[in-house]
Structures are given as structure tokens and as C-alpha cells.
Amino acid sequence: MQEIATAEIAREPGGRSLWDDAWQRLRRNRLAVFGLVVLTVFISLALLTPWIAPYGYAEQNLDLGASPPSSQHWLGTDIFGRDLLTQILYGGRISLAVGFIATAVALCIGVLWGAIAGYLGGRVDAVMMRLVDILYALPFMIFIVLLMVVFGRNLLLLFLAIGAVEWLTMARIMRAQVQSLRQQEFVEAAVSLGLSPFSIIRRHVIPNALGPVIVYTTLTIPNVMLLEAFLSFLGLGVQPPQSSWGLLISRGAESMEEYPWLLLFPGLALTLTLFSLNFLGDGLRDALDVRGAGD
């Protein structure tokens, strides 16, 4: 008997963790798995684009002009005879990069800000969160348009501008988490052991607050991608010769009457990605049992 028990413990050290549990639940959610698969495929395609794109990015075929989908050009070509599939692949690189990098910017600022405010509490917290309140009230969409107009339309600024908007909610979520964690006994124990606030935040608070942050991050990426596409559609985001899905949709909309595929396929790529991210985010929320994040 004794041996069996030891063997079982040896096989599963520490039993099933929270993350194993969450993974099991996530796997049972068909829509979330669908989202995960689509995303994995799209991200792999984006990473491999320079090697797998059927044509060169700048390759034109003016004699061909705009042609509907065919065996040579699976998704058709635009008026310059450029392969649409290639365009979508390269555009996807930018769209996804903006989505992930700008979200990462927001994540870093928001988590740190919220953790510090929530952990220190008192007057520091009041000042830090009041600042978030004020920024919250600003009409940011208008400000991003303004920023893009003033400083020219470069990609780095786009990352920063979008990241600067999206960190606010992240900070609020993180702060609420930290505040409730701070009263738990293991944090108290760490304090009495003489750990510095910084290492307590790093070792105990951030790992425990990760669930809601992961969920909200997953739901922030589609928002960011929408914002980028919105700006690019207006001509204030990504600029030619670079391309993004928003820009392709914008150009497709101009000639949709004659060449509807130029609107449909980039639109499909964007919608499918947004769908996947939202499904995955919702699935993660259920799997990690997070309430109140997002929405």
C-alpha cells in the first residue's frame, strides 16, 4: 500500500496544478480550440511568409491586371496584377505584429502600474489610480488620430500610441487582483520573513494574478488589431509600401464593385483572426474561471 501511494505521488508531483486543470477545461471548449488552431496557423504563416509566399511582395504583372481567383493566383490579383494571397500574407505580418507588440506594451505598463498601486495602497494608490481615471476620460481614438497626423504615420509610433491607450484597463484589473491578494496569509508570511515589496510582487503577487491578466490580454489583442485596421482604413495607420489587412480592406472597398474579391479575402482574414482571438479569450475566461475581465 505504502509503495503504491509513493508511486502515485512520484508520477504526479504536487498533483494536478491549476494550469493543468485549466488546460483540460479549455480543450473541451470546441470554439476555443478552433480559435487556438486558426491562430497557430495564421501566426506560423506570418512567420514563414518570406519563404512560402507564392510570389514576391512587389511583384507586378501589369498585363494581367485584376483577375479573379484562379489556379495561378488562388485569391486573385489586384489592378497591378499583384498576387492577393501574397499581399494578405505580408499584410498579416504587420497586422498581427501590431496586435501582439502593442498589447505587450500595454501589458507591461498596465501590470506594473496596477501591481505597484495595489500593493503600496494608501496615498500612492490614490494618486496613481486618479491619474488612470483622468486618462480614462480622454477620448483616445481622437488622440491617436491626432498623434498619427502630427508625428507622421510610422509604425513604431502606432505601437506606442495604441499600447498607451490599452494599458489603463489592464492596470485596473491588476490593481483589483493585487488588493485582494495582499490580504492573503501567504503574502503576510512573506512580509514577516522580511522580503522586499518588489520581490513579493514579483514572486507571489504577479504569478497569482496571472489568470485575469492572461484573459484580458487575449481579449485586448483583437481590440488593438481593430484599432490598427481602423486607422489604416482611414489612411492614418500603416502606409504603403507596407501593407496591413486594414489597408487592403480599404483599397478593396474602393474597387469592390468591379473586383469584390479584393475586399472579401482581406476582410475574411481579419474577421477570422478576430473571431479566433475572441473565442480563445472567452474560452480562457471560462477555463481559468475569471469573472469580470474583459466586457
Partner 1 sequence: MWRFILFRLLQAIPVILAVITVTFFLIRMAPGGPFDGEKAVIPEVRAALEAQYQLDKPLLAQYSTYLGDLLQGDLGPSFKYPGRSVNELIAAGLPVTAELGLYALLVAVVIGGLAGVIAALKPNSAQDYLPMSAAMLGICMPSFLLGPLLLLVFGIYLDWLPVSGWGDIPGDKLLPAITLGSTYAAYVARLSRAGMLEVLHQDYIRTARAKGLPEWQVVTRHALRGGMLPVVAFLGPAFAGLLSGSFVVETIFQIPGLGRFYVQAAFNRDYTMILGTTVFLSTLIVLFNLLSDILAAWLNPRLRAQYASR
- The binding site for partner 1 (CB under 8 A) comprises 133-134, 137-139, 141-143, 145-147, 149-152, 222, 226, 229-230, 233-236, 246, 249-250, 252-253, 256-257, 260, 263, 267, 270-271, 274-275, 278-279, 295
Nearer to partner 1, 25 or 61 (CB): 25
Query: Exposed (0-12), middle (13-18) or buried (19+): which is 189, by Cβ within 10 Å?
Result: exposed
User: Do the beta carbons of residue 133 and residue 113 sit within 8 Å?
Assistant: no
Which of 111/262 has CB closer to partner 1? 262
- Cβ at position 248, least distance to partner 1 in Å: 11
- Closer by beta carbon to partner 1, 87 or else 205: 87
Q: State the nearest-atom distance from the C-beta of 54 to partner 1, in Å.
A: 25
Task: Tell me how far apart the alpha carbons of residues 208 and 213 are, in angstroms, rounded to a whole number.
Answer: 10
Coil vs helix vs strand at 83: strand
What is the rounded CA–CA span in Å between residue 234 and residue 266?
Answer: 16
Name the minimum Å distance from CB 263 to partner 1: 6
Choose between 187 and 221: whose C-beta lies nearer to partner 1. Answer: 221
What is the closest distance, in whole angstroms, from the C-beta atom of residue 148 to partner 1 in the complex?
A: 8
Bridge partners (DSSP) of residue 83 are: 77
- Is the CB of 40 or the CB of 271 nearer to partner 1? 271
With CA atoms as reference, report the closest residue to 165 among 124, 116, 226, 119. Answer: 226
Closest alpha carbon to 125 in 194, 174, 165: 174
Q: How far is the CB of 82 from partner 1 (least distance, A)?
A: 20
